[in-house]
Structures are given as C-alpha cells and as structure tokens.
Amino acid sequence: MQADAMAHGQNSPRNTGVPLQADWFDHVAVNTPAAERRAATLTTRRTVKKEWQAAWLVNAIRCIDLTTLAGDDTEDRVRRLCAKAARPLADHIMSGLGISRLTTGAVCVYPTMVSAAVKALRGTGIPVASVATGFPAGLMPLDLRLAEIRYAVDQGAEEIDIVITRAHVLDGNWQALYDEVAAMRAACGAAHLKAILATGDLKTLRNVYKTSMVAMQAGADFIKTSTGKEGVNATLPVSLVMARALRDYGARTGFRIGFKPAGGMKSAKDAIAWQILMKEELGNDWLRPDLFRLGASSMLADIERQLEHHITGRYAASSRHALA
C-alpha cells in the first residue's frame, strides 16, 4: 500500500467541449435488462479480501467528496467536516496501515459555506467544491443560477456541482440543455464543473446516456449521477451506462471525463462495488480522485470501522468513530 495519497488535481487535459453533435447519441439504444445483469455480476465475479480490501478502502477515502448539504449547516459544522477531511482515519489506524498522509478528495458545501471551508482547509491541498444553480431542483432563472456559480467561485470554490434542468431531457430539447451547461461551464472559469444529471428523474437509461453525452459535449469536467435528494439516486446500472458514455466520448474526442456517483451509498461494500465498476469499464486511471469521486459522506464511518477491524481484528462501536 502506498504511504501517501495521490496529490489532488487534474492530470488530464481539460475537456474543452465540442459543438452539439446529436448524431453521437440520437440512435443509441440501451438494453436495460442487459445493463442490469452486467451491473449485478460486477461484484460477484471480482472480490478483494484482507490487505487488498484495505487498500481499496483507503483508495475510496481519497476519492470521497466529504459533504454537508443540510438546511441547518453552520460554519462550525463545516470546520468539523474539514478537520475530518484532513484526517479521515484515527492515528492508530493510519499507523497500522503504514500510511503517513491521507485526505478525502474534496469537501462539498453550499455556496455560503465556501469561505469557511476554504479557511479551514488552507494548507491541506484539499479543494472545496460547491453545489450551485439552485441545487437540488435547479428551477431558477438561468441568470440567477450563473450568478450563484460566480459567487461560489469568488468565495474560493475550485469545483462547482451544477444541476441541470430535467425538463430539457424529458422534452428532448438537447440544444437547450447543451446551451445551459455550456453557459454554466463558462461561468465556472478555472473551476471544474461537475454536471449532476439527477438520473432518478430521467425515466430511462437511454435518457441517461443522451444526457451524459450532451453534458460532456457542453464542456463538463465530470458527470455525476444525483443530488442525493431524488427518490432514486446512484445505482450500478445507471453508473454503468454513464461509464459507457464516458468511454464513447473519450474515444471520439480524446478527453477523459470524470465520474461521480452520489446518493444512497453508505457502506464500505458500496465503495468497493463502484471502484470495481470503474476498473472494469474504464481502467485504473478512473480509480484516482482527478477522474473519480464518491459523493457519500456517511460511508466514511463504515470504511473506518472496517479498516480498524483489519488492523485490530475487532469491530469498534460506531460511536467510537468521528461522524463525517
């Protein structure tokens, strides 16, 4: 196991986007039963145990966007979250694993909490991500959504998680969706744009593929499954379809786009399942935080619990681990 987590940052040329190319997705068909079968067998055909499992769990930590998006968020809560992001594991676990430094991939907050997070993370190298554009519904006038992006960037956010207008997808208005995401990408400036597709609202896997492709054509640096607020959030079949869209876009353009599943993932088992998907479909490069993030703060406690068991042979009570 490596002693240090990989440095944060994008190691690939940034996606510049392309003009809307409807022929890249118009006639694509998705075999839903086949996608579900493939997703169901991913974790049954490949397993990791003992020290290899521990290594995969450590890797999951460095890919987590540690997140608080609650109506009662305070600056104190954000500072505590940032402290956990900078030291996600207890010292005795770090020592037992032979790791000298480990951090999460980012800290994600609302725009009004960005400044507090930036101050708390100064010197750690951990980027601050901010949701924006009327999260989670996105049902605000476009000029206000763009202003919210600019505000978050001005406060120091290095990554912006935007939400799309789902109606554009359900109406098949791909030009409107493209123009919206392209405007958001421009508003981000140097900050990276993670496009939340809210896949639970998109009705079909075919719509998931099409929306993924349009977001990437418009310049998205990452595509993300969900806000975490939908009735159905990240699932392996949806993630599989998005991974195939990533692969197809990369084959056409040469750009490598990141992927972020979010919502509904709570366990160490989930962390391994999504990493297996990345490795099987996209390769080892998508096991790094510059191309893969997990939007699942609650899974950190279970990962820490599993790693402590790996070191000590005992399961600690969940109350012994700091809350994410």
- Residue whose structure tokens are 């160490």: 268
CB 262 within 8 A of CB 236: no
Q: Are 187 and 150 in contact (CB under 8 A)?
A: yes
Question: Which run of H or of E encompasses 163?
Answer: strand 159-163
From CA 149, how far away is CA 129, in angstroms rounded? Answer: 11
209, burial (CB in 10 Å: exposed 0-12, middle 13-18, buried 19+): buried
Instruction: Output the six-digit token pair for 185.
Output: 């990408």
Adjacent-strand bridge partners of 128: 107
CA atoms within 13 A on the CB side of 281: 27
> Which residue is catalytic, options 84, 194, 210, 260?
260
How far CA 36 is from CA of 1, 31, 39, 239, 275, in Å, comes to: 33, 9, 5, 11, 17
Active site residue 161: yes
CA distance 197 to 209: 10
Which of 282, 244, 253, 260 is CA-nearest to residue 28? 244
DSSP assignment, residue 285?
G
Whether 260 is catalytic:
yes
Catalytic residue among 84, 210, 224, 270: 224
Dihedral over Cα of 93, 95, 96, 99: its sign? positive
| Separation of alpha carbons 197 and 203, rounded Å | 12
Catalytic residue list contains 224? yes
Give yes or no for a contact between 286 and 60, defined as CB atoms under 8 angstroms apart: no
**Which positions ≥6 away from 34 have C-beta within 8 Å?**
none
Catalytic residue list = 161, 224, 260
